[in-house]
Chain A
């Protein structure tokens, strides 16, 4: 504002730009590190509480193999570390994938839950549970295959001289409704006990993770998160619209394809580990964006927000509620009020979007 009244507008405008950009970078750094610290604290806290109380020092020493104490090591490394790691990994994966989808398709509702990918995983897994009486690793494998299959199906169907965001969303709705119809049918035809197990899986729980799937997801996170962040530049120009992005020199289809593949891989593995934990992918991006303010769109921040949400939900599900419930039951109850509060308060400052 001051730039226009000043004597040397060009210089001060550039200066103002620089200030804004620096402020944005600082805020992004502060928010991301704060989220990272929150995630670390929650991760350690998850392993401290339980019927056998531990101190933070004991937990950290045991996880990092600094001190050997058989009883502590058993509780931490064998009992609590797998669940805590799976909450962390699934949260990171869903948060990152959700925000990638929302930005690619330029729609705040376009999380993998609504455009058919989780429905595909759900149908495959439910078929395994209800028709073949499967459990454990086989169901995870089916879910993985279902998610990837649904994503491929959508991409093939939506492809016509490239994939337009709007067409992809509509095809996604169709695919999701198709799978959901079949899931509903299976649930009404199943024996009540099978239906109950199927509902449990559909709700999603970090406690049901198997070691093999978890290792796969961790590997994928280490590999894919940096790739996603590198592709972030592509993502930013895509937000301006396909034509503008193309004019600015982005290879639109390549960038979009790469990002979609990254996000789909993360979602598919997360669903295979924990089932379709609803709402994390949808809400992590908007929460991170509102914390980041003007520097919206950070994949890392969204991933960390997802992990925070899932770790908190797991703590509530296991330790606060009278009967232990699957994590997916709690994510909505924990995340929804927070998002609503954010919507209400950022609105008051006129930045609610």
Chain B
């Protein structure tokens, strides 16, 4: 069959493609460590990494205390958001589904605003745990409401429940922000999404969750392929559809919740990168997931580096760069690429 040879040929090209992406990610990570308002050479970076002592020189301080944590955070957060987005699009079979529309961002925002107004908390380091808790609470709520009823959490019900919870929580946030200028001031910076100012404690706080979630997510390729054929077919293939969906949502909650908690809502990566991965790989989730996992941090770090270089010595938030540069690129892919639907 010509179709099957086409598929195998594609698969044989996709394996090396992953290796290329891996190298690209290493290059971008190197750029992210060396570029910025203060340019640091390769030798200094290697020297700093070799000594692991941040007191030797300014260069090594900047490298070890700012750039390296920021780059590592960009990698894990990007990978987490990319994979979480791909899983959500697969489970809900909706191209508009992302962690944001499933309530994650609005849940996190409500808890952040609550922490600012009621508890008087300030600073990203403390927001993290409030945002994480809020994100998970919102996602659990969405899933619980959607799974009421005989047929369980169908894609349409998940999408509508997610949108409704998002809107309800966004109302609460808006209500608080409208009446409290302090909260507005904190929220307008939090909600753009940024890698800046997130230092080692935040990284070490969220990294275990993200790594755990990333490892778990790679096992979902086959079941997502089954779900893509429709629930009845998936059930016929011997899948336990309800259990699969619940497990997928648990993984998404950990990945997207921790990522959003660390960096604020970075919508673009979770929404767009899985589509880009689908353009490359076709409809097979066993490839889409690893491609999303590598493409997303590349895109995120590139945008972050650009934001630092373009506006130096100031910087543009990564969320802004992604929207302004990434979105037109995505539109170009959609317009001229071949589409394979969710």
A interface residues (Cβ-Cβ under 8 A, vs B): 107-110, 114, 157-158, 160, 164, 166-167, 169-171, 173-175, 177-182, 184-185, 187-188, 192, 195-196, 199-200, 203, 278-279, 282-283, 286, 323, 325-326, 328-333, 335-337, 339-340, 343-344, 346-348, 350, 352-353
Contacts and interface: CB of A to CB of B under 8 A. Distances in A.
Contacts of A333: 168, 171-172, 175
A339 B334 contact: no
A77 to B, nearest CB: 30
Nearest to B100: A114
A108 B322 CA distance: 26
A70 to B, nearest CB: 36
A326 B339 contact: no
Contact of A350 (B149, B164, B169, B326): B149
B320 A184 contact: yes
Closest A-B pairs by Cβ, 9 of them = A181-B323, A347-B149, A336-B168, A332-B171, A178-B327, A332-B167, A333-B171, A174-B331, A279-B167
Given A195-B184, A326-B178, A352-B149, A173 B272 contact: yes
B164 A169 contact: no
A182 B320 contact: yes
B320 A332 contact: no
A353 B153 CA distance: 10
B256 to A, nearest CB: 17
B101 interface: yes
Contacts of B31: none
B157 interface: yes
Nearest to A166: B341
28 contacts: A158-B335, A173-B271, A174-B327, A175-B327, A175-B331, A177-B323, A177-B326, A178-B323, A178-B327, A178-B328, A180-B267, A182-B324, A185-B192, A195-B188, A196-B184, A203-B174, A278-B170, A323-B179, A326-B178, A329-B174, A335-B167, A343-B145, A343-B157, A343-B161, A344-B145, A347-B148, A347-B157, A353-B156
A173 B165 CA distance: 20
B135 to A, nearest CB: 18
Q: State the majority secondary structure of interface residues on B.
A: helix
A184 B148 contact: no
A125 B94 CA distance: 30
Contact of A352 (B157, B181, B267): B157
A287 to B, nearest CB: 10
B320 A185 contact: yes
Interface of B: 94-97, 101, 145-146, 148-151, 154, 156-157, 159-161, 163-165, 167-172, 174-175, 177-179, 181, 184-185, 188-189, 191-192, 267-268, 271-272, 275, 316-317, 319-324, 326-328, 330-331, 334-335, 339, 341
Contacts of A157: 331, 335
B142 to A, nearest CB: 9
Contact of B328 (A158, A174, A279, A350): A174
Contacts of A167: 334-335, 339
A72 to B, nearest CB: 33
B320 A336 contact: no
Contacts of A337: 168
A169 B170 CA distance: 23
A114 B97 CA distance: 11
Given A160-B335, A181-B327, A329 B171 contact: yes
B271 A177 contact: yes
Contact of A108 (B156, B171, B184): B156
A177 B330 CA distance: 10
A184 B334 contact: no
A185 B165 CA distance: 26
A254 B189 CA distance: 44
Contacts of A339: 160, 164
Contacts of B148: 343-344, 347-348
A336 B174 CA distance: 14
**Residue of B94, B320, B334 with most partner-chain A CB within 10 A:** B334
B314 to A, nearest CB: 10
B5 to A, nearest CB: 27
A60 to B, nearest CB: 32
Given A184-B320, A185-B324, A203-B174, 18 more contacts: A109-B97, A157-B331, A167-B335, A170-B275, A170-B330, A170-B339, A171-B331, A181-B321, A181-B322, A188-B188, A199-B178, A331-B167, A331-B171, A332-B174, A333-B168, A336-B164, A343-B161, A347-B149
Most chain B CB within a 10 A radius of its CB, from A109, A182, A348: A109
A107 B326 contact: no
Given A157-B335, A196-B184, A286 B160 contact: yes
Given A329-B171, A332-B168, A339-B164, A109 B94 contact: yes
B234 to A, nearest CB: 18
Nearest to B341: A166
Contacts of B331: 157, 171, 174-175, 178
A177 B146 contact: no
B167 A336 contact: yes
B161 A109 contact: no
A80 B317 CA distance: 44
A279 B106 CA distance: 14
A110 B322 CA distance: 22
Contacts of B184: 192, 195-196, 199
Contacts of A195: 184, 188
Contacts of B154: 352-353
A33 to B, nearest CB: 26
A94 to B, nearest CB: 13
